[in-house]
């Protein structure tokens, strides 16, 4: 969910650096750059309904986690199997105990109620205080298929790491509590929950945390809803992001399981960044411009 804030910040940052950009449109760009600014309720209504109400989303998730389980079994049987992206592994995987690395939000935790509340309240801007309040409720649900998969992995002796860009320490206790209450495998000291600013690997990009884990484990699978859950360097143009996906083509559906998220993500930031670099100020206009017509 941090992505939403980042998407807004990206546009502001780009605009701030663009000497020729016109005056920000009132109501679209707020004066305080610390605050999220992109009005998105109209954009997220259908996406949120799809995630909450469609049988299709449930079916995709169940299928994805069935695939994950099959791939986990294959990975356990193959001592040479390692899911780390190129360049991130610093020590050989052989002989290390197995682990899976999963993102949290919209990978195994369902935050659509937060999105729904924002829409109902016509509270159009992503607001970090409101997000913190939602997190502190500890009421995110488990996504279909997720709980059974991570419990199965733990039963096979596989360590489960949750690598999320929720904030450490602000969101740590509530995140650990929420995961634990739902029944996800969480270490007694919560050490398998690695959030942004984790002292062991504090970078915002997740590669540093993946490397930290890979120094201790053979990594069987990566699971996420965002390209950054698999590789670093995703804050680039939409075209370059597609190139990244192509570069790792053999991984998808085998070692890397991508789950759908039509509501928010770094895909959105990429559109806004590229558009902002052209001096555009209206996020919704940017999105309309990005539509492909043939």
Given the rule CB under 5 A, which residues bind Mg ion? 103, 105-106, 225
The three-state secondary structure class of 217 is strand
Q: What number of H helices and E strands is found in the chain? A: 11, 7
Instruction: Tell me the closest approach of the beta carbon of residue 268 to Mg ion, in angstroms.
Output: 13
Nearest to 120 by CA among 135, 130, 105, 106: 130
Nearer to Mg ion, 105 or 274 (CB): 105
Q: Are 98 and 220 in contact (CB under 8 A)?
A: yes
Nearer to Mg ion, 103 or 198 (CB): 103
Nearer to Mg ion, 15 or 83 (CB): 83
Looking at beta carbons, which residue is closest to Mg ion? 105
Spatial distance between the Cα atoms of 176 and 11, rounded to a whole number of angstroms: 32
Nearer to Mg ion, 40 or 105 (CB): 105
Instruction: Tell me the closest approach of the beta carbon of residue 115 to Mg ion, in angstroms.
Output: 13
- Pair of tokens at residue 231: 């590789």
Instruction: Tell me the closest approach of the beta carbon of residue 230 to Mg ion, in angstroms.
Output: 11
- Pair of tokens at residue 6: 């980042």
Instruction: Tell me the closest approach of the beta carbon of residue 229 to Mg ion, in angstroms.
Output: 7
- HEC readout, 37-59: CCECHHHHHHHHHHHHHCHHHHH
Instruction: Tell me the closest approach of the beta carbon of residue 259 to Mg ion, in angstroms.
Output: 8
Give every CB contact of residue 7 below 8 A, 6+ residues apart in sequence: 38, 264, 266, 268, 269, 272
Nearer to Mg ion, 106 or 110 (CB): 106
DSSP state of 86: T
């Amino acid at each position: 969910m941090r992505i939403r804030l980042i998407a807004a910040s990206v546009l502001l940052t780009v605009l701030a650096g663009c000497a020729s950009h016109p005056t920000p449109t009132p109501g679209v760009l707020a004066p305080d750059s610390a605050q999220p600014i992109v009005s998105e309720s109209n954009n997220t209504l259908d996406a949120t309904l799809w995630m909450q109400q469609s049988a299709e989303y449930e079916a995709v998730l169940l299928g994805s986690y069935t695939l994950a389980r099959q791939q986990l079994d294959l990975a356990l049987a193959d001592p040479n199997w390692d899911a780390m992206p190129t360049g991130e592994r610093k020590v050989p995987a052989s002989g290390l105990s197995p682990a899976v690395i999963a993102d949290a939000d919209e990978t195994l935790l369902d935050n659509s109620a937060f999105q729904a509340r924002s829409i109902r309240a016509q509270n159009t801007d992503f607001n970090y205080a409101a997000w913190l309040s939602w997190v502190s409720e500890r009421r995110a649900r488990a996504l279909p298929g997720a709980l059974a998969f991570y419990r199965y992995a733990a039963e096979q002796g596989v360590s489960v790491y949750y690598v999320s860009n929720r904030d450490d320490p602000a969101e740590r206790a509530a995140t650990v509590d929420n995961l634990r209450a739902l029944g996800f495998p969480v270490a007694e000291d919560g050490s398998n929950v690695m959030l942004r600013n984790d002292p062991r690997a504090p970078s915002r990009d997740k590669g540093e945390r993946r490397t930290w884990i890979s120094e201790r484990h053979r990594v069987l699978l990566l699971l996420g809803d965002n390209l950054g859950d698999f590789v670093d360097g995703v804050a680039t143009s939409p075209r370059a992001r597609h190139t990244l996906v192509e570069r790792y083509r053999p991984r998808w559906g085998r070692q890397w399981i991508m789950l759908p998220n039509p509501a928010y993500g770094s895909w959105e930031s990429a559109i806004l960044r590229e558009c902002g670099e052209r001096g555009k100020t209206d996020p919704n206009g940017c999105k309309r411009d990005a539509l492909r017509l043939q």
